[in-house]
Amino acid sequence: MGFPEHRMRRLRRTETLRRMVRETRLSVDDFILPMFVTHGQGVRNPIGSMPGHFQLSVDELVKECREVVDLGIPAVILFGIPEHKDPLGTAAYDDKAPVQRAVRALKKEYGDALVVITDVCLCEYTDHGHCGMVEKGQVLNDATLELLAKEAVSHARAGADMVAPSDMMDGRVGFIRDELDEAGFEDVPILAYAAKFASGYYGPFRDAAESAPKFGDRRSYQMDPPNAREALVEMTLDLEEGADILMVKPAGPYLDILRVAREEFDCPLAAYQVSGEFAMIEAAARLGWVDRERVMMESLVGIRRAGADLILTYFAKDAARILRG
Ligand code: PBG
Ligand code: ZN
């Protein structure tokens, strides 16, 4: 192989040619839109570090999802901002809390046209902001499992189509699977935040969900960023415990993990393009330093090319509009 017989530019000459030999395609079917639901009525609080995103009360969330459905985005994932926080995050498993009410309202309005996924974690609901029960400054693993399972069952009872544990406690997928089955929700799939790294890219999200830890950090339960082999162990365990879909998070800085996971596992793979990845593109675009649309689409196609089937992204609506043309 060599020049001049081979000229790679021949197939790049026109957009139509390029379209024919394109290896990876983005589709609106790949997108899951994260949304923040709060208490109250008529609430639409803009999130400063996440332009275009809001803390929405249930009524506003239902309205906002009309556009999501019309754009053909198949799914949303809900995060809750409760009225009260306490050491055990009791609002997480309160059937009348914002997420549970939102799920009921969305299922009533949109039925099967919208897949409603719920994030299962305690950090938005605990006064200390950690993802589990705390004792003597330590985040307890086994005691937390009960609470997470109660939360997952409460979401399923409200009608959630899928639950997504994001806490990174050991054994939670299996524990939640058992409790869901026990409660008669054997058909509710688990989207496991399987390889979730302790990342600085979650900054804007913690403002949005009001979930920053009040002491310490999450490094004793989320993964250490340099570890790739360990990510495969995490994913293998979650799959064995009954996860239906495995997630890598964040997405952009961890494309190597996605690539290896694609080769290793045959289940659907999801990647979470997190708040910081979104915010950096938005900020640079505002400064005029990058072209927002181009960088947005390039970041998403990169995640697909690395091996993700599904992408959780704050760009879902804008990208869907562009794909629709
Ligand atoms: C909660 C949770 C976090 C995110 C999703 N679920 C934050 C965290 O672990 O601190 C991050 C999402 C984002 O940054 O967009 N466990
Ligand atoms: Zn959490």
Q: pLDDT (tens digit, 9 = 90+) per residue, 220-264?
A: 999 999 999 999 999 999 999 999 999 999 999 999 999 999 999
Ligand showing the shortest atom-to-Cα distance for residue 280? 1
Closest to 310 measured CA to CA, from 245, 235, 228, 256: 245
196 annotated active-site: yes
Mean pLDDT of the chain: 97
Closest to 114 measured CA to CA, from 74, 164, 78: 74
CA atoms lying within 13 Å on the CB side of residue 223: 22
Question: 194 with 233: CB under 8 angstroms?
Answer: no
CA atoms lying within 13 Å on the CB side of residue 212: 11
Residue 15 within a domain = no
CA 69 to ligand 2 centroid distance, Å: 27
Residue 2 within a domain = no
**Catalytic residue chosen out of the listed positions 107, 108, 150, 196:** 196
CA 121 to ligand 2 centroid distance, Å: 5
pLDDT at 197 over 90: yes
Q: How confident is the model at residue 177, as a pLDDT?
A: 98
For residues 46-66, average pLDDT = 98
Closest to 255 measured CA to CA, from 303, 196, 309, 197: 303
Number of structural domains the chain divides into: 1
Residue 80 within a domain = yes
pLDDT at 36 over 90: yes
pLDDT at 1 over 90: no
For residues 266-295, average pLDDT = 98
Residue 245 within a domain = yes
Higher pLDDT, 206 or 182: 182
Q: Whose CA is nearest to atom 11 of ligand 1?
A: 202
Residue 92 within a domain = yes
User: Counting atoms of ligand 1 from 1, which one is nearest the CA of 204?
Assistant: 14
pLDDT at 30 over 90: yes
User: pLDDT confidence of 125, banded at 50, 70, 90?
Assistant: very high
Q: How confident is the model at residue 323, as a pLDDT?
A: 97
For residues 169-182, average pLDDT = 98
Cβ–ligand 1 contact at 247 (below 6 Å): no
Share of the chain above pLDDT 70, in %: 100
Cβ–ligand 1 contact at 202 (below 6 Å): yes
Cβ–ligand 1 contact at 166 (below 6 Å): yes
- For the domain that residue 103 is a member of, what is the CATH number? 3.20.20.70
Cβ–ligand 1 contact at 121 (below 6 Å): yes
Cβ–ligand 1 contact at 118 (below 6 Å): no
Q: How confident is the model at residue 325, as a pLDDT?
A: 87
Residue 6 within a domain = no
- Cα of first residue to Cα of last residue in the chain, in angstroms, is 38
DSSP-assigned states of every residue in 72-87: T--EEEEEEE-S--BT
Residue 68 within a domain = yes
pTM: 0.98
Residue 5 within a domain = no
85 annotated active-site: no
What range defines the domain where residue 226 resides?
23-324
Q: How confident is the model at residue 139, as a pLDDT?
A: 97
